[in-house]
Each structure stands twice: as structure tokens, then as C-alpha cells.
Structure 1
Amino acid sequence: MARKKGREVNGWLIVDKPAGVTSTAVVAKVRWALDAKKAGHAGTLDPDATGVLAVALGEATKTVPIVTDALKCYDFTVTWGAETTTDDASGDVIRSADARPDADAIRAALPALTGEIMQVPPAFSAVKVDGERAYDLAREGVEMELAARPLWVESLTLLEAGPDTARLEMVCGKGGYVRSIARDLGRALGCLGHVAHLRRTWSGPFEAQDGVAFDRIDRSEQAWLDECLRPLETGLSDLPMLRATPEGAIRIRNGNPGQVTDGAEWGELVWVRDAAGPVCIGRYQGGMVQPERVFNL
């Protein structure tokens, strides 16, 4: 079997994604620019959205589920008076309304969209329906009813209110669609609405303000991009860190439970390191850690 070409690059590159570029295209360009064997991202951004896109390289891809599960923050603007096919400005208007909410009405509607809520994804989304992506079916004109999904909304705050728009900030967990929030808020207020602008300002431990500009991701910038890489363990900041004994590290790297010198809650997900660096992600079991993902560094 032919081996994958490319360098062994391990770590995170944080990109400030511009509008008009897909998340997949960003990952592909990062992988090409760094000549990396393996790359993936921790949470899709809509093509029209901007902000932090965390790209994992090499062994850091094993930490992607941890970052994907972390809280994320979105700064977005809703335009009132129209609902669209895509729930953002790129879609066709399907319903309109003359009503416009004031700041007090908007604030009063926010608690219903905060906490543990059930959210119906937009028709144009990556949700799978009978094995096909919803956006592919929507483009073909197929009518469908997507099932509501649970979403944790940590906070939803009104930042500015104008006559026809409102700017809000949302902090939420995995799987949140800002476009659905805009749609549901517009319906609740009786004025309808869709997302006009959307920016992800932070995702887990990563912030957009620290991101690399998309136009600097190039083979000619490889040395500089190498310097911009964050360590693999940056993506593990939400997990407790335990230290393996020398013998424990050897056992864990061979896929067996290994001894650690620190403690945690029984069954808690942790990450383990030794003097050489990260060893694994695993479950703590009374002085031992059962590895679930072992790092080959």
C-alpha cells in the first residue's frame, strides 16, 4: 500500500476564515501549504460566515472531538422583515412581514432560546436525511421536515438594536445553528428574520483574533506557518491533565491501562502526559488510565 505523502506535522493552526470560502477549502489549503499528511477541522463554519476555524494537523486530529464539544461564541446580525430559504442573506425570500421589534421586545424573547432548547436545523445544512445531506436535497427542491435536536445555549445577548436589524452574541455547545436562532427569534417576535452577518469569535480555547489570515496560507509561508502552530495539547485544555509513571506511559502507548501519579473522578475523561509530551486521552480508573486515543509522537 502506498504511504501518504507529506510531512509529519502535529498541532493546531488557527485560521480567521473569510466569507466566501468553505471550511473544507480552508483545511485543504492548510494541508497543502504545510505539506501535511493529515488535517481536519473542529466545527464547520458556513461559507458566508467568518471567524475562527481551528485546523488540526497530524496527531492533533485525535483531539478534534474535544474541541468540537466545547462552547463556542458567535457575533451575528439579524435582519428583520423576511425569512429566507437558507435562513441567511444568500437565500430567496419566502415570507415577509412589516412588523419590527424594539430592544425591549427582543430582550424579552431571548430567555426562550436560552438554556437547554430543541432546535430544528436549517433546510440548507449538513444534517443527513436518509443518508443524504439536507442541503443537497434542498437544492433539488425536495421538501423535508428535519427533526429538532437538543442544543445547550449558554447565553444569548442583545448587543445592538436598530430599526431593521439587531446584533446579538450567542455562546452555545456543539451543533448550534445561528441561522436557526435568527429564524426562530423572528418568528417569536412576529417580524420574521434571517442572518445578515455571522462571525465566530472563539471556539473552545481558540480565538479569531489570534487566527492566521487566509491569504497568508501558502507554500511560500511554510516556515512562518510552522511557527504559528499551537501544540497538540492546546485542544485538551478542557480536560484534566494527569502524569503517567514511566512504566505507565509504556503500557499506555501499547494500548494498555497504565499507572498515573495524579487522581480524578472514576470514569472521568482525562489526558495523560509524561516527560516526553502527550501520551493519550482516556478514562481514569483508580490510579490507572484506560487509553481511548493514543498519541504517536
Structure 2
Amino acid sequence: MTMTDASWPPLPVQEWADTRDTVQLWTQMAGKVRLALTPLVNHWWNVPLYVDSRGLTTSLMPLGTGGLEIRFDFVDHRLRILHTDGREGDLALRPGTIAAFYAEFTGLLAELGADVELYPVPVELADVVPFDQDTRPAAYDPEAAHRFWISLVSASRVLNGFRAAYRGKASPVHFFWGAFDLATSRFSGRPAPRHPGGAPNCPDRVMHEAYDSEVSSAGYWPGGAGEGAFYSYAYPEPPGFRERDLGVDGAYFDDDLGEFLLPYARVRTAEDPDAALRGFLDATYRRASASATWPRETGRA
């Protein structure tokens, strides 16, 4: 394995789609706990997960006078629930059913004093079955899950550098469990028109809060064809945003998604993957901010 393969591993969607879909449902369970335990932060910044040294984490959530953290460990392939009083819960990441995993998961929460009421229906997915009723076989390939986590580590590194270059309001680099993507957003400081909503199995108020300000967002989505893609979009989309070539090798505008895309495979096979991705992020932000004439005082790069 080359150094590039080690930090930007191959991740053909067709080879791990079943595992990806299972992990997405698992992360939605953890994310719903975070939604239940944390106060609302603008644009729902209180609900995402974060990439850490073993996988994905909720970070510390308040629980009474203490706190709770849920961690997906894609090295040892365990889900760990950690209480600040020293108690822990642990279950294996393995094939089974979503219903069985949900029962174990909620049982561990109850044992640790986090008997929170969760809405047991997946969100932002078209065809859903409540977690506690989903008895279909659910796949889990540990090697694929580990490669996915490594891809998140690398994407997070570049996205964090990109975020740091902006002096205006910018989101953390965080993992949204609804759409299953790692993202960061820059804001112009101006309000945006009311978002139309329309995400599947998701109340429109979620999108209203997420997009109440003019924004340029970018991130990494391991879905679609090939090996997934990096994306960038602007809301509201300014005139001329999609009309000219970015000048970034392999990047294109997808009319159906309304986003610029750069295939993950083009990044991982580039001579300098980090530089290739950063070039895409910088170019799409420049296009968004210039097309919408963002105020200079926002810290426009």
C-alpha cells in the first residue's frame, strides 16, 4: 500500500454500499441522542458528529449534572457509551438487524441513566422503516468501515485548513448523520430567503433553520456512483454560479443536485490529493462569493 492509499484509500461505493447504509442508520441513532440532550445551536450545529482518533463521536453531551459521550470506534469496531461518572456501555459493530442494534443501544442508554425519548424513524432518507421494526439483514464490513473512517480523517484535515483561512462566520467541520456527509460552511453575514424544504422524512423547519443565512457550503459525501464525491454549493444560488468552468481538473456542475462535484477517486489518485481538494474548495468558494458579491468585511478570502 502506498502512502497515498494509506491516507486516501479506495472506496468503491458498490463494494460497501450495504455497510455504508447500516452505519448511516447507526449514526442516526447516536445523533438523535445528541439532538435530545443538547440545546439548539444555530443551523443545528448541536446535532452533528465529529471525526476523532478512532472513528466518530458525539463529543460530550450534558446529562443531569454530568455528561455522556457516544463513540463509534472503527479500529476495534465497537460502539462505546461513556458517562462522566466512570460507567461505560459497549456493544460490537457487526452484521445483524437494525432492530436488534437499536434495542441494545437504547438498553445501554437506559443502564447509564440516559433514558431519553428518541423519534425512532430515520430522516433524510426516502424509504424508511422505524429502527425498532427494521428486521431486515444489515451488513457490516469492518475493513470497509475502517477505510471510510480513514477517508474522513483525510477529508477533515483539508476541510479544517480551508475553514481556518476564513475570518468570517464559519461552521465547524462536522458530520451530519441525516445526509451522511462531512461538511463546513462559510457565511456572508446576510440573511437568506426562506428555504423551500422538501428533504425526505424531514420537517421543513429543519431546512428553514439550516439555511436562514446566505452560505457557501462544501463537504464530502460517500454516496452516489463511483467512490463518492466532494461537493460545493451556494444558498441561495447566485446568478452565474454554475455557468463557467471552475478550472479544476475533474470538477463539474451536477444540474440535478445543484452542486459542483469533484469525484473522490480524482482526489485520491492525484499527485497531491490534499492540494487537489483544497484547490476545489477555494475555487468553488471564490465562485460563490464573487457571484453573490459578498461583503469584504466578512473576511472573504
Q: TM-score normalised to the size of structure 2?
A: 0.25
Q: Which has the higher contact order (CA 8 A, sep 6+)?
A: 1
Q: TM-score normalised to the size of structure 1?
A: 0.25
Larger radius of gyration: 1
